[in-house]
Each structure stands twice: as structure tokens, then as C-alpha cells.
Structure 1
Amino acid sequence: MPELPEVETTCRGIQPASEQQIITKIVIRNGNLRWPVPNEIRTELIGQKVTRVHRRGKYILLSTPIGTLMIHLGMSGTLRTLPAGTDIKKHDHVDICFENDQILRLNDPRRFGSVHWQPLAKGEIEAHKLLAKLAPEPLSDEFNGEYFYQKAKTRSVAIKSLVMNSAVCVGAGNIYANESLFMSGIHPQTPAKMLSRKQCDLLVSNIKTVLAKAIEQGGTTLKDFMSPEGKPGYFVQELQVYDRENQPCRQCGTPIQRIILNQRASYFCPNCQTAPKSNQLKKPKATRKHRQPTQTKM
């Protein structure tokens, strides 16, 4: 799934051909994405200028004077600017056509992506139900060690799960959560409330570092991700633990281990990231046992 660096790379890639451009046509070839593509954008957005192309979390926002178009890339989506008349390929679901003869094209093989329309009459885009509860942007000053410590200090959930909670830390998905925890020497299973303020400062600093570096490298390509220019993300070459099970740790040589947390693969070095004691881990809820019927003696 494209994470924040991949979405930011996409956002920056489509900006030159989309920002300050007039929309002349919107083509919806397949509106059955994760949510139905709103049909009204075919008419309401014609003649509108895209005043700003930006990002909130993993959502790409195209602002206009009458509202905002919001796009999510889902699991396998790509958003590219192409010359008008470019041949249509399989899974090319939505085109936004501009006056400068460029097309913004959404391709999504698995159709987990989405397109949303928020007219100003319904409020600012920040009030949209998919954005309203998002945490501060991870590269902003609002996302800091004190903020994270306050969010973590009463929670027993595994720290990796907390880092991936968009209401606490927006945009640090599975790849970058693994990498940030490794850089901080924190085991992914550590209960969040066990972290000290100093550890929270370090973890937040490393989340910022790894995200900024990944953006600089154009994101991470593990399978399908390509930038709007058709280039892969080169941060994959920088990965320290993610997808490196049984390979030697780049710091100490210990084989990288893999476990499953909340149905997501977690990678760590058992030497560089000290595991919490077993009695400090959150115990799973006990399941109720069915009483066996009492047998009557004959």
C-alpha cells in the first residue's frame, strides 16, 4: 500500500501539470472503487481551476474555488499526469482533463482506492469524516515527543500498533513504523505505556527522519509503486529491517526476525531492539469455555 512518502511523491509529481489549471472534462470509466465515485463531479467541476494540490495524511487534495476533490490510492493505485490522447490501459478508471492538454489519470487494479468530492457548501475539507480525526502531520511541529508521550503513557497496546494508528500518528504505515522502531532500539511488541519521555522524543525524531528520507528517495517500491513519472521509489535500498527476515542486521549481524502484530508483518533485530519481558506484554482475552454436560451415573 502506498504510504505517506509515496503519496507525497505522487502529490509533488502531479503538481506542475495540475495546479492552476482549468478542468475541462472528467471521465469516469469505472466508478465502483472502494466507495462509488460521485457522478456530480462530471458537471460541477467543469471550468473550475485547481488552485492547490496538496496532501493530508494519505489523501491527495485538489482544491478548487467551489470545493475539494480528494483521492486515496488504496492498495495499488497510481495517479499520473499524461498527455491528452494517451492510450487507455486496463484499470484506468478516472481521468481529470485540463486545459493545458494534460490528463490526471487514476489507475487502480485492486480498486481499493477512492475519489471523494467535498463542496464548500458542506464545509472545509478538514471537516470531512475521513480527515476530521487524523493526527497532526508527522513532519509538523505539532507532532513532537511531548504530544506522543501523552498519547502513549496510558496505553497497553503494542507500540508498533500505536505508531500505525492514524489518530495518533498519521502516515507512518507498516514499512516506516518498522524502520523507525529499529532506529530507536524499541521492540515492536513493547507496550506503549512503557516508553519514557526520552524514548518518545527519540521515536518521534526517527519517524520524522525516516519519512523525510523516504520522500527524498521518492518513496519505497516493493512491488507496484511508481511515481507519476513512472519511476520506482529508491528508499527500498535503505531498508534496515522491513522484509529482511533471516538476513543479517546491518548493525550487529543478528538475523532479522518476523512476527505478526494485528495481522501485519513486523520485522526487528532481537539484539538491537530489546524485547519486553513476557509479563509486560498485554495478555489476550480469555475465551469463555463451554461447560461440559454432567454425566449421570447409571
Structure 2
Amino acid sequence: MDSLQQILGWFGDHWWIIFPVMGVGGAMAGRWQALSRQRHKQKLETLRLKSEIKAAQLAARGQLAPPVSPRQAARQQENSAKELLGRLFAEHDAITARWLDYELDVAKMIAFPAMSDGRQPLTAAFLRAKKTADALRPTSADASVTEQQVSEYLDAVGAYAVAFEIAEKDARRLRDSTFTDDERKRLERAQHLLKVAVDQSATPAERQTAYRRVREELDGLIDLSDAAMENLEKKVALQLESRPAAASAPAEPAEQAEPQPIPVRDPLAPAEPQRQAAPLPHPES
């Protein structure tokens, strides 16, 4: 009874906490509704395409009076499957491209480390969804696949998209909050050094030193992939090559004015009459 009274007393003193809790709950409910609408839309699209495929199959088998010839029905079925696979491929590739923005950009890996940390539950769920979608993806839109395979791939791409959205939102919320104070200072130094490493105004020695220290600061904090380091090395090398090229470019000489020709008198020209000097006025006496 005393414990219950203490709990009720605590809630009575902290009644205001219900407002942020309601805000968080409202945001989660809104997100859930948006995801539900997206899944519902995908299911409707799947049902529509399945009905078209099924109708074409029945028409081809002669179980339904076909409005078109069997060859046309088979062609419609094939085109519907290709259309759906094409849209799924585009969505699949778009999600993967957004994920690679985090995996190949060291600056984003420092700013949002949870997005590359498989120990985070939501990131791990996204990576599992990616693995499933990649495994169920047909080789091409022209591949011979069954209706069941298309349906499974559709569900996998939908789960892949939802898992990425949730993992990205969580990573942007967490940022570096999962690190200690000393580790956060190391991340801040790494961010500053990274800017120096790709700064064209810095000297080559400064950029090389900054690049080396970035790796030292991130050692043990963030597991940089080989592709991310290769991408960073290319950026640093590009800056190192662009500076000497700009410095070695010869300056264009300034245009010099052409010398004016010295006038020369034509010896065959008639001599000009000499002018007589005017007589000097006599001073008045």
C-alpha cells in the first residue's frame, strides 16, 4: 500500500510529464498510420496485378471466355509482371543508394554512427531486411518467375523500405549520444580534421596529416569500411593534384602596347617654306 501511495504521489507531483508522453505517443501513432497506409496501398496494387495475371492465366487455359486471343493474354500477363518487377527494382535500388550514402561518406558515418552500427537493434533489423530483399530479387525483369516469387519479392521490398526509414530516423535521433564524453570529443576532432583533409586551401602536408589523424581518432569508435576509406583517399588525392596544377599554370603575359612609329620626313617631298619671324616691337621711348 505504501508503494502504491508513493507511486501515486510521484505522479501527482510530476503530472506535467503526461504532455511529452502524449506527444511521443502521437508521433508514433502517426508514423504507424503512415506505414499502414503504405502497406495497404502496396497490397491493393498487388491484388490488382495478381488479378490481371490470374485472368490472363485462366484465359490462356480456356477457363474464361477471353476477350482477346490466348497469345495476347499471355503477352499481357508477361507485361504486367515485367511492369511490377521494374517498379520494384527501381524502389529497391533507390533504398540501397540512400544506404550507401551513409556507408561511403565518412562525414555521414561520423555524424550518424548508428546507421553503420549493426549492434543497434533497428539497424540490425534493416540489414536483415536488406539481405532478404537482395536474396529474393530476380536476376532481371525478363526472368521467368512465378506469381509466388513476385509476391514474396514485393513484400520483401516493402519491408526493406520501412526498415530503412525507421533505422535512419533512429540514427538521426541518436547521433553520438551512445558515446562517452571522451569519445564524443574524438568524433568532433575527427570531423574537424576531415574538413582539413579535403580542404583545397590547406597545404599538402596539412591534408596528409589530417587524413592520417582522422583514421587514428576513429580507430575503435567507428568501423570504417574499405569502400569508405577508398572514397576518402580519392577525395584527398584529388585535392592534392588540383593544387599543384593550379600553381604551375603559367600566367598570361600582359599585352604590351605597340610602339608608335617615329615620323620620318620624305626626302622627295618639297620643302616647306620657312616662316619669317615677326619683328620684335620697339620699346616706346
Shorter-chain TM-score range:
under 0.3
The structure that has the greater radius of gyration is: 2
| TM-score, scaled to structure 1 | 0.23
Query: Which structure: greater helix fraction?
Result: 2
- Which structure features the higher share of strand residues? 1
Q: TM-score, normalised by structure 2?
A: 0.23
